[in-house]
Structure 1
C-alpha cells in the first residue's frame, strides 16, 4: 500500500487502517494543534528523526495499559511504604518534556523529540490537551512523563527517571488518578518490557479503535 503525502493546506489523514505493516501511514504536514488532535483522535501519532519530514504512524497492534489494571509489584509496594512519595501534575510541562528528550538523546536509539515537537506539545498543554506528571521521592524530583489527554484517553509519549523508580512512581500514581476519572486506557503505542511488567498488553487495532471511541464518546 502507498504511504500518503499530506500538506499544510488541509488538516486531514487517510484512514489509519491503510497504514503499512510497520505502521507508517503518511508523510508531511505540520504539528499544529488541530492536526495533532485529529491524529490522536484517530489513533495516529508523529514519530520521526530530527531533520526528516514528519512521519505519521498507526500501528496495527497497539500496546495499552488499562488504568485499573496497572501492576504494582511487591517490591514497588515496599518502596512506597519506605519513602515519602508524591506527584504533581503540570509542575513544568516544558521542563519534563525536555528531560525526557535529554535522557533519550544520549542513548543508542536516540530521540524523536526535537525543538519542533517540544514547541508543538507545549501548545497542546497550553490548550489543556496534554499534561506532564512529575514524581517526588522524599522531597526530590525523581522522574516524570508527559502525554496527550483527550476525553478519557491518555496517550503516553515519553518518561524519564533521575532517581530509582522515578518514572514508575509517576505512572502508577497517574494511573490511579486516571482510573478515578473514568479513563479507559493509557496508549503506550509500542510494547516494551518495562511497560509489560506494569500491566501493559497488546490489542488489535479494532479493539483499540473501540476503546478510542468509548473514551472520546464517539458513537
Structure 2
C-alpha cells in the first residue's frame, strides 16, 4: 500500500533523512522506533506532505504522491495525528470531529457515529471545549478527528506522550480497534515495548537512516533492540 523509496529530507541545511526506504502492506500496523532526533517524526510529516522531501519517492497504492500537497494527500486517504495532538482548543469536541471530515460531502454522520462508538468518552463531551479535555481525551479526540477523514493510512506520532500509564493503555486499545477495522497504521512511539507489541512490522531509525527492519515480534527478540530500546540486558 505504502512504498517509500530513497527518501531524503532536511531541516534547513541540516539533513534529517538519508535515503530511507520502507514498504507497508494494506491492513498492516507498523512502527518506527528510535532515539529522539532519529528522524521518525520527519518521516511521518514527509509522508503526510507537511514537510517537503528533498528527493526520493512516496507511492500510495502504486501512485506517486510526491507532488501532492498535504490537503490532497488527505483526500487520497492519508491522515496524520501529530505529536502533541493539535486539537483546536477553543472549538467544541464535536466541531473538532467534524473538521476531520472537511474534505468529504457524504457519509459523515454515519462515520461520526462509528467513531463515537469507538470513543465513548468523547461522546460524553461533544459540547465541551476541546481545550478542557484531559490529555488522554484529547489524544482520543485527535484520533477520532483523523478517522473522520476516512483514511486508508493513519499516521500516529507519539500517541502516548505525556499520558499516565493507565491512559496510555486505553489509547492503545483504541489504536488496536482501529487496526482491526482494516485501517493501515504507521506509528511513531517512544515506548518501544508498546509499539512492538501492537505492530506487525517495525523499523529502527538511527540518525536519519533505517538501522534495522523486520517482523515486530522478531525485532523484540533482537539483542540490539532489547538493550538499546527495551532496557533489557542483551543476554537477559
Please indicate, yes or no, whether the TM-score normalized by the shorter chain is above 0.5.
Answer: no
Structure 1 length normalisation: TM-score?
Answer: 0.33
Structure 2 length normalisation: TM-score?
Answer: 0.31
